[in-house]
Amino acid sequence: MIKDLSEFLGKEVTLKGWLYNERSSGKVKFLILRDGTGLLQCVYFKGNVSEEVFDLASRLGQESSIEVTGKVKVEPRAPGGYELDATGLKLISEAHDYPITPKDHGVEFLMDHRHLWLRSNKQVAILRIRHRIVKAIRDYFDGHGFTLMDPPILTPAACEGTSTLFETEYFDLGKAYLTQSGQLYAEAGAMALGKVYTFGPTFRAEKSKTRRHLTEFWMVEPEVAFAELNDDMDLAEDFLEYIVQTVLKDKAEELKVLERDTTKLQKVKKPLPRISYDEAVDILKKNGIDFQWGNDLGGTDETVVSNQFDKPVMVHRYPAEVKAFYMKRDPQNEKLALAVDVLAPEGYGEIIGGSQREDNYEALLQRIKEHNLPQEAFEWYLDLRRYGSVPHSGFGLGLERTVGWICGLDHVRETIPFARMIYRNTP
């Protein structure tokens, strides 16, 4: 593999991959090979190789699959720092008229060719960082006494509001819905195991056409028994620091490919600032925004608030009206929910949403009624308050928004292999 070339300096190697790019100057042909682990410049001198090999090197189309043989040399000017003094070339499968050329393409064209766009250097770097983030998430929770629990994807009811449910017919049982969040099931798990996390795809029939919204996205959701809102915030900041610092340490190369300014990520260390919703409203007003107390923070409001800080900021105690039915009210002020949103810096907006959960049976039943939710569908959830209810809290981190922020991308569509959005469900 190209990434292991440093161990083969001065030796002859054979590598398989695809032709990424090529150029020639007279009697020399430069083929850039990619193999998924890196790029390698392979140099074919007309005098050094057979006529057959030189001809082949001269007529290959971009993305032809090939096998190259040659000696590994140090070449600081070449991508990756090594070069192949090539002698052999075999064709595996010839490609012509590859649609994605080194010139600039519009993003819709690239999204239509997403299955091929994935091969480009930047997309490979993003996918590798995504993978590292997923592993960091798992390592963090596995190392802190959490048990992974997989919730169902087909569910009988809403969790995060009825307006964004994808529905489907479910045999003789009526309608089923694609899950918006594994949280309610994680709560059942926390009562069984103490600390659990769910991690999987979630769905929102979002009408929003913003750079932060997908209709199918991945969410990780820890849930902890005997934890209150402050404990939830302690967990969120420790977790975020771990993820960001791990990626900085392990994925420096990829972040460089993406030209990410990592000085901003280096600042993501505990403690993170904590402000109340009321304080956030003050910040908005001081910045000349005509904001009505009681509204949810919109995308631009979040940007204005987070621009006051050089780290993610935790905004807690939102008006209960704009938050989900399951959140516990603040005993100090019944109008407020014990909620927390973590807003990423640099305008990336909400990456975490969490709360302390309503653990009182009567109060929860009342919320279910106020939200016009079907009580029968929530009887099992009410059972968690009937039988040994305890204070508990958790949050959900959106994987794609986190990848977008850490990679410094303009839009979440590049953070997931095949994005699903309001106007796109292909390829």
Measured from the CB of residue 5, what is the shortest distance to ligand 4AD in angstroms? 38
Task: Please report whether residue 181 would count as binding ligand 4AD according to CB under 6 A.
Answer: yes
Measured from the CB of residue 350, what is the shortest distance to Mg ion in angstroms? 6
Among 32, 133, 219, 268, binds ligand 4AD (CB under 6 A): 219
CB atoms < 10 A from the CB of 71, how many?
15
Which residue bears the tokens 């938050």?
323
Task: Please report whether residue 151 would count as binding ligand 4AD according to CB under 6 A.
Answer: no
Site string for ligand 4AD, 349-368 (x = CB under 6 A): -xxxxxx-------------
Task: Please report whether residue 17 would count as binding Mg ion according to CB under 5 A.
Answer: no
Q: Which stretch binds ligand 4AD (CB under 6 A): 13-21, 126-134, 348-356, 369-377?
A: 348-356
The entry of Mg ion, ligand 4AD, none that residue 53 binds, CB within 5 to 8 Å by partner kind: none
| Tokens encoding 411 | 């839009």
**What's the sign of the alpha-carbon dihedral 198, 203, 204, 209?**
positive
Instruction: Give which of 109, 339, 302 is closest to 211, Cα–Cα.
Output: 302
Minimum CB distance to ligand 4AD smaller for 66 or for 399: 399
Task: Please report whether residue 160 would count as binding ligand 4AD according to CB under 6 A.
Answer: yes
Measured from the CB of residue 104, what is the shortest distance to ligand 4AD in angstroms? 27
- Strand bridging mode 333-337 / 167-169: unpaired
| Tokens encoding 220 | 């990780």
DSSP 295: S
Question: How many residues contact ligand 4AD, by CB under 6 A?
Answer: 24
Measured from the CB of residue 278, what is the shortest distance to ligand 4AD in angstroms? 20
Q: Which stretch binds ligand 4AD (CB under 6 A): 67-75, 80-88, 211-219, 361-369?
A: 211-219
Among 63, 221, 237, 358, binds ligand 4AD (CB under 6 A): 221
In whole angstroms, give the CA distance from residue 33 to residue 79. Answer: 10
Minimum CB distance to ligand 4AD smaller for 258 or for 339: 339
The entry of ligand 4AD, Mg ion, none that residue 236 binds, CB within 5 to 8 Å by partner kind: none
Residues between 353 and 382 that touch Mg ion (CB under 5 A): 353
The entry of Mg ion, ligand 4AD, none that residue 398 binds, CB within 5 to 8 Å by partner kind: ligand 4AD
Minimum CB distance to ligand 4AD smaller for 312 or for 398: 398
Residue with the shortest CB distance to Mg ion: 353
Minimum CB distance to ligand 4AD smaller for 66 or for 229: 229
| Tokens encoding 29 | 């042909």
Measured from the CB of residue 182, what is the shortest distance to ligand 4AD in angstroms? 7
Minimum CB distance to ligand 4AD smaller for 41 or for 355: 355
Q: Which stretch binds Mg ion (CB under 5 A): 230-238, 301-309, 346-354, 385-393?
A: 346-354
Helix (H, G, I), strand (E, B) or coil at 156: coil
| Tokens encoding 128 | 């590798």
Task: Please report whether residue 401 would count as binding ligand 4AD according to CB under 6 A.
Answer: yes
Q: Which stretch binds ligand 4AD (CB under 6 A): 40-48, 77-85, 217-225, 251-259?
A: 217-225
| Omega before residue 271 within 30° of 0, cis | yes
DSSP 421: B
> What are the Cα distances from residue 112, in Å, to 82, 99, 118, 127, 207?
34, 11, 11, 18, 21
Adjacent-strand bridge partners of 86: 70
> Quick one: the chain helix, strand, coil %, rounded to 5?
35, 30, 35
CA atoms within 13 A on the CB side of 339: 23
Q: In 175-248, at which residue ranges do the beta strands (DSSP E only) sit?
A: 175-178, 195-203, 216-225
In whole angstroms, give the CA distance from residue 8 to residue 181. Answer: 48
Name residue 355's amino acid: S
CA dihedral 371, 294, 292, 212 (to 10 degrees): -70
Which residues fall within 8 angstroms of residue 50, CB to CB, at 6 or more apart? none
Measured from the CB of residue 164, what is the shortest distance to ligand 4AD in angstroms? 8
Q: Are 19 and 66 in contact (CB under 8 A)?
A: yes
| Tokens encoding 383 | 């059972």
Task: Please report whether residue 395 would count as binding ligand 4AD according to CB under 6 A.
Answer: yes
Q: In 95-194, at which residue ranges do the beta strands (DSSP E only) sit?
A: 147-148, 154-155, 167-169, 175-178
The entry of ligand 4AD, Mg ion, none that residue 183 binds, CB within 5 to 8 Å by partner kind: ligand 4AD
Q: Which stretch binds Mg ion (CB under 5 A): 188-196, 249-257, 288-296, 351-359?
A: 351-359
DSSP 413: G
Residues that bind ligand 4AD (CB under 6 A): 159-160, 181, 183, 204, 206, 213-214, 217, 219, 221, 350-355, 394-396, 398, 400-401, 412
Q: Where do contacts with Mg ion occur on this chain (CB under 5 A)? A: 353
